[in-house]
Structure 1
Amino acid sequence: MNLTLFSSLDWLALAVFVASWLAYTLFADHSRWSDKSLTNRINVYRERWMMEMVTRDLRMIDTTILGNLMTGIAFFASTAMLILGGIIALLGNPTLVTQSIKHLPYAVDSSPVVWEFKVLLLALIFVYAFFKFAWAFRLTNYCNIMVGSAPVKEADPIKLEQHAKRATKLSCRAGHHFNRGLRAFFFGSAALAWMFHPLALMLASLVVVIVLYRREFSSTALLVLQD
């Protein structure tokens, strides 16, 4: 690939996109502020759920909830595959697509090589999302097995607590990977803006970061879940 086909504005836009994704991930998942996130708050309720689960006589409600979670994860995984199918179709006739896009207002004219790179970037993002959803689905399935293998409520309390903590860790890891998959969907939407203009990619990247921050750290849902 001839890298000189990319303008300096394209490289800047790509750098802003990657930096926005990495910076938000570090902030939301690995900084000292991550404890205040909606995901972290939900993890507290995941632990309460599993502690309640081991004290129940019948755990049908727990397996039903996990089944519903698996259905939601499977939906996003299949959606990622459908999106990938559409992205691959775009590679079939890059010249026709680029000719169509350049007639849109403010759209830049890209060579077929640059267009293919942009499409491949989109494909890479949604492949990543699919793998995250697939792993979240598998971990949730394992959590279902943990519910089924939980000792009876009359068992040793220490044993019950240990089992609940193991199930909690699996559930939290499933939520973590599901969250990463959703984040890829958001940034994949931002990457789509690059098809029109590098400035659109930069703007979309910043908008996605703001939206994700508001959802994760200052949403009404977070306030509701606080004790």
Structure 2
Amino acid sequence: MFDLGHLDLIALLWFSAAWLGFGWLTDSSPYGRSSLTRAMEEHRRAWMREMLKREVRIIDTQIMGSLQNGTAFFASTSLIAIGAAFTLLSQADRLVEVFRDLPIHVGPRREEIELKVLILAAIYGYAFFKFGWAYRLFNYSAILIGAVPLPPFADQAAAEKAAARAADMQIIAARHFNWGLRAFFFSIAFLGWFVNAWVLIGTTTFILLVLLRRQYLSRAKAAAEG
């Protein structure tokens, strides 16, 4: 049985704190109000308000199709990643030899490699469930968009309420999609643990800084707010 050392535990705690903390920061904290994610949520609401003015909503259905296809792609990719991770389990001995031959003199044991691969597979499994649920919610959102009455045939207040309902479903779906995407990003950081705990700490910090920059200091955020 492989026992984690103190440094490995610290690295895993930092990895978990960075992942969960970033999600809380952008989704739930007061600082999230100035993030790219929140800016796009407001644009989703604006999209639904504009849709109310259109009698022909072909463009809206096309946008929904694009969102669903993108989510389905990532869900399929997650399944491929899970399969690849379990394939690595059968190659644990080979991986030990590969790491021992590296110039940085990494010498992990078989049990250590297997544990890390299983955690990596769990991360991809989590991503699959998030993408799968986001895909389902985008389907629900499409139904709610279809249920928004056309301007000439509905009370204005009822139509606005229906559009707000569709926007809320869109936002919930997007949040689940974002959590799946973050799992992909942090899985890249997790690969650092295959080298050692110090590398995991470094890769986690790097990924966290990249994501923070994209949410708060990127050109995308400036464009969304401009």
TM-score normalised by structure 1 residue count = 0.95
Residues 85-100 of structure 1 correspond to what in structure 2 (within 5 A)? 85-100=83-98
Q: CA deviation at 1:98?
A: 1.3
CA contact (8 A) 1:115 1:195 kept: yes
Q: CA deviation at 1:52?
A: 1.3
The residue matched to 1:56 in structure 2 has which SS?
A: coil
Residues 58-137 of structure 1 correspond to what in structure 2 (within 5 A)? 58-137=56-135
Q: Which amino acid aligns with 2:161?
A: Q
Is structure 2 residue 204 aligned with structure 1 residue 211?
Answer: no
* Whole-angstrom CA distance in 2 between matches of 1:167 and 1:194: 42
Q: Which amino acid aligns with 1:68?
A: S
Structure 2 residue aligned with 1:178: 177
CA contact (8 A) 2:26 2:37 kept: no
CA contact (8 A) 2:36 2:216 kept: yes
The residue matched to 1:183 in structure 2 has which SS?
A: helix
* Whole-angstrom CA distance in 1 between matches of 2:104 and 2:27: 36
Mind listing any 5+ residue stretches in structure 1 that lack a counterpart?
none
Structure 1 stretches of 4+ moved >3 Å: none
CA contact (8 A) 1:84 1:127 kept: yes
Q: CA deviation at 1:22?
A: 2.0
CA contact (8 A) 1:59 1:147 kept: no
The residue matched to 2:107 in structure 1 has which SS?
A: coil
Change in Cα spacing, 1:210 to 1:64, as seen in structure 2 (3 Å) is same
CA contact (8 A) 2:189 2:207 kept: yes
Structure 1 residue aligned with 2:159: 160
Cα-to-partner distance string for 1:23-47 (whole Å, 9 max, x where unaligned)? 2222222211000010100011100
The residue matched to 1:150 in structure 2 has which SS?
A: coil
* Whole-angstrom CA distance in 1 between matches of 2:21 and 2:100: 32
Q: Which amino acid aligns with 1:212?
A: L
Figure out how many residues of one structure are paired with residues of the other and give that number: 225
* Whole-angstrom CA distance in 2 between matches of 1:201 and 1:38: 27
Change in Cα spacing, 1:133 to 1:107, as seen in structure 2 (3 Å) is farther
Q: CA deviation at 1:54?
A: 2.1
Aligned-residue CA RMSD (Å): 1.2
Mind listing any 5+ residue stretches in structure 2 that lack a counterpart?
none
Structure 2 residue aligned with 1:188: 187
Q: CA deviation at 1:100?
A: 1.2
Identity over aligned pairs, percent: 40
* Whole-angstrom CA distance in 2 between matches of 1:183 and 1:215: 12
